[in-house]
Amino acid sequence: MHNFVFHNPTKILFGQGTLEAIGPETRIWGKRILLVYGRSSLRRNGLYDQILASLRTAGLEVAEHGGVRANPLLSHARQGIREARARQAEVIVAAGGGSVIDTAKAIAAGVPVEHDVWKFFTGKKSLKTALPVITVLTLAASGSEMNSGMVLTNDATREKFGFGHRLLHPKTSILDPQATYTVPPDHTVFGAVDAISHLLEFYLTAADPDIPVQDRMMEGLVENSMTACRRCLRDPRDYSGRANLMWTATLALNGLTAAGLGRVGFPMHLIEHSLSALYDIPHGAGMAVILLGWLRAHRTALAHRIAGLGRRLFRLTESDPLLAADQTIARFADWLADVKAPLTLADLGIAAAEIPHIADNTRGLARIWRLAEYSPERVASILLHCLGSDGQQTTMNRSNTSHQGAPGGQCGEESDISP
């Protein structure tokens, strides 16, 4: 196990009725606030009124920056920075999912500086201060409610980059599972898939083979994501199902599962961010397709690791590692199909001819995330595994022969990247 420092400063208020605490919790940090939220769900499900009432009762002056869309845009975050400055906001309150929380973090980071907030994402500027961020989570997925990361799409360049810094941890996040009752089935699934992908990025790129405490934690969280997702699809108002999915997604990317693994990489997110930047698909939908393709591309190099996961998760008895790895991948594909997640690029409406364009789009983020081994050629070879069954068959044969080494995920140094 590698040395590590685990310090997560975000205070979590979890459970039924915690939403009422948003006013008092925000008041601790200031009086003038900017409330950031999405397009329509917050008003539709009544959370907007509840949150406003609590903020007003706490004596807060509320300015608003609504309209955050999935795969949030840099231009919209810049508007939010201007709005926050004009209203001299002291606190940024996010009420939504990962897109809203990441926009709030970008505003919190951008207000105190003269330069463009995008310079944080490109590594041209380092973060020295940020306004406090308080969140009300309404969708279990990204983990942004309890981590240091934020992800934005630069609308001008069609680049989607992630940036992380400990100063971006929300001060307090309110996780009331009832706030997620209205999440539609597709985004319930996309959120569970995103949580699973956060866990498997660590599980499959960690270089240290002797990490049972992390392995059992991650295996359990993956299993729980799958089980809780099914429960929420059966009954969207299953409080315990929503509570388990919510807390699992938060734990999947709050630093706890990565502690001791050394530096892990996010090669699957590297590729998915290009899908979202270029085709504006939901992050979790892209992750479902990339997860399967990446597993298939690494079935040989990671046969033992994937087989071990399958034995734990699916009680597989196959002793041959390669056959067990294939069975594990097939079980994930079955689950994804069962919860109606997309399985191929075609399911996302993306043609195979787009692969070189997608692979080329990953260059910038691969450089910033120091994933040099993920050349556009390698990304393209992984994307070939994301095609439909026919394309799948030919590439499977090809990958048995021309397989590259183990996946990205340099270990050793800490890094503030955010998937």
Residue 183 to residue 191: CA distance in whole angstroms: 10
- Residue 33 DSSP class: E
Specify the DSSP element, H or E, that contains 173: strand 172-175
CA distances (Å), 140 to each of 60, 145, 251, 263, 383, in order? 27, 9, 11, 25, 27
Q: What is the DSSP letter of 370?
A: T
Q: Is 158 in the site for ligand NZQ (CB under 6 A)?
A: no
Q: Does 225 bind ligand NZQ (CB under 6 A)?
A: no
| Part of the chain binding ligand NZQ (CB under 6 A), chosen from 9-17, 133-141, 327-335, 392-400 | 133-141
Question: Is residue 71 at the binding interface for ligand NZQ, with CB under 6 A as the rule?
Answer: yes
Neighbours of 212 (CB within 10 A): 9
Q: Considering the complex, what minimum distance in angstroms separates the CB of residue 168 from ligand NZQ?
A: 9
User: Distances from the Cα of 145 to the Cαs of 87, 121, 139, 249, in angstroms?
Assistant: 24, 19, 10, 10
Which of Zn ion, ligand NZQ, none sits in contact with 84, Cβ below 5 to 8 A by type? none
Distances (CA, A) of 316 to 28, 211, 303, 326: 51, 21, 14, 11
When CB distances are held under 5 to 8 angstroms depending on the partner's kind, the choice from Zn ion, ligand NZQ, none that residue 267 binds is: none
269 is a site residue for ligand NZQ (CB under 6 A): yes
Binding site for Zn ion (CB under 5 A): 194, 419
25 binds, among Zn ion, ligand NZQ, none (CB under 5 to 8 A by kind): none
> How far apart are CB 9 and ligand NZQ at their closest, in Å?
15
Residue 248 touches ligand NZQ, criterion: CB under 6 A: no
At 91 the three-state DSSP class reads strand
Choose between 189 and 345: whose C-beta lies nearer to ligand NZQ: 189
Which range of residues in 53-61, 144-152, 239-247, 312-320 is near ligand NZQ by CB under 6 A?
A: 144-152
CA proximity to 193, closest of 142, 239, 147, 240: 142
Residue owning tokens 């699957």: 268
Tell the residue number behind the tokens 């003038």, with chain if given: 32
* Contact status: 177 vs ligand NZQ (CB under 6 A): no
The 10 Å CB-count burial string (b at 16+, else e) for 220-244 is ebbebbbebbbbbbeebebeebbbb
C-alpha to C-alpha distance for 321 and 307, rounded to whole angstroms: 6
Among 35, 36, 70, 355, binds ligand NZQ (CB under 6 A): 70
Between 281 and 343, CB nearer to ligand NZQ: 281
Q: How far is the CB of 161 from ligand NZQ (least distance, A)?
A: 10
| 18 versus 399: smaller Cβ distance to ligand NZQ | 18
Strand boundaries in 78-118, DSSP class E: 91-96
The span of 48-56, 134-142, 326-334, 408-416 binding ligand NZQ (CB under 6 A) equals: 134-142
Number of helices (H) and strands (E), helices first, in the chain?
Answer: 17, 8
* Shorter beta-carbon distance to Zn ion: residue 145 or 194: 194
Q: What does the alpha-carbon distance between residue 158 and residue 150 come to, in Å, rounded to a whole number? A: 16
Give the whole-angstrom CA distance, residue 196 versus residue 252: 8
User: Rule CB under 6 A: is residue 191 a binding residue for ligand NZQ?
Assistant: yes
Q: Which is nearer to ligand NZQ, 148 or 399 (CB)?
A: 148
CA 140 – CA 265 distance, rounded (Å): 22
**CB of residue 160 vs Zn ion: minimum separation in angstroms?**
11
Taking CB atoms, the residue at the shortest distance from Zn ion is 194
Q: Is 138 in the site for ligand NZQ (CB under 6 A)?
A: yes
Tallying the residues shown for the chain, one arrives at 419
Q: Which of 27, 242, 283, 305 binds ligand NZQ (CB under 6 A)?
A: 283
- Piece of the chain touching ligand NZQ by CB under 6 A; list 14-22, 114-122, 185-193, 292-300: 185-193
Question: Which residue in the set 27, 65, 165, 187 belongs to the binding site for ligand NZQ (CB under 6 A)?
Answer: 187
Check binding of 180 to ligand NZQ (CB under 6 A): yes
- Taking the least distance from each CB to ligand NZQ, the nearer of 54 and 71 is 71
Which of Zn ion, ligand NZQ, none does residue 151 bind to, with CB < 5 to 8 Å depending on kind?
ligand NZQ
CB 91 within 8 A of CB 136: no
Per CB under 6 A, residues contacting ligand NZQ are 38-42, 45, 70-72, 96-100, 102, 138-139, 141-144, 147, 149-151, 179-180, 182-183, 187, 190-191, 194, 253, 269, 283-284, 418-419
